[in-house]
Amino acid sequence: MYLYGASGHGKVVAEIAEECGYNIEAYIDENPSKERVLNYTVIHEAPPYDIEVLISIGNNRLRKRVVNRGEHFNYVTLLHPKAILSKRLKIEEGTIVMPGVTINAAVRIGKHCIINTNASIDHDCVIEDFVHISPNVALAGNIYVGEGTHIGIGASVIQGIEIGKWCTIGAGAVIISDVPDGATVVGNPGKVIKSRSLNI
C-alpha cells in the first residue's frame, strides 16, 4: 500500500499499517523537499496504475481534495488491533481507527475519517465522511457529526446532539446543544465564536 501524505500524522498511520500487516511501498507527497520518512521513500506523484492507498493527511479539507481528484486509488481502511470495536459497527473505505478507541453498537462511520487515539463513540452515532475525532474525545449515544467536522482533543458531546458540516469543536469543549454548519465552538458549555463558508 501507499500512504498519501508524509506529515506527522503520516508517521502515525505508517505504524498502524505495519501493526495491521501491510507492506508500505512508499509515501506520496507533493512537497519536493521530502525524500524519506520513517525509512520509507517519498515519491512526489502517484504511480499511473491502480494502487492501494490510505490518505494520511490530518487536514479534513485536504483529504477531500485528494479524493476529488479522481485518482485510480483503491482505498484501504485501517483498524488498529488494540481498538475495541462493536461487531455491529459499519465503517467505510479510507477511514483509520487508532489504538485505544472504543466504538459501541450500531455506529456508522463514513469515508476517509480519522478516529484518533483513545476516542470513545457510543451507540447509534453517525459520523459522516472526512471527519476527524481527536484523541480522548467522548461522544455519547445518538450523536450526528456532519461531513468534514473536526472535534478537538478531549472534547465531550452529550447524547442526542447534532453537529453540522465542516465545524470546528475546540479542545476540551463540552457540547450540550446542536451546532450549525461551519461553526467554531469552544468552552464549557460550548459557545459558537465564529462561522465560515462551507466552500472547500
Binding residues for acetyl-CoA, as ranges, are 132, 153
Nearest to 173 by CA among 132, 138, 148: 138
d(CA 101, CA 117): 6
Binding region for substrate: 7-9, 58
How far CA 114 is from CA of 25, 40, 71, in Å, comes to: 22, 22, 21
How far CA 162 is from CA of 52, 111, 159, 176, 179, in Å, comes to: 33, 19, 9, 10, 6
Catalytic one of 44, 72, 123, 150: 123
Helices and strands, counts by H and E, the chain = 2, 25
Binding region: 7-9, 58, 132, 153
d(CA 133, CA 130): 10
User: Between β-strands 108-109 and 40-43, what pairing exists: parallel, antiparallel or unpaired?
Assistant: unpaired
Cross-strand bridge partners of residue 54: 3
H/E element holding 86?
Answer: none
Clarify whether 123 is annotated catalytic.
yes
Residue positions annotated with a catalytic role: 123
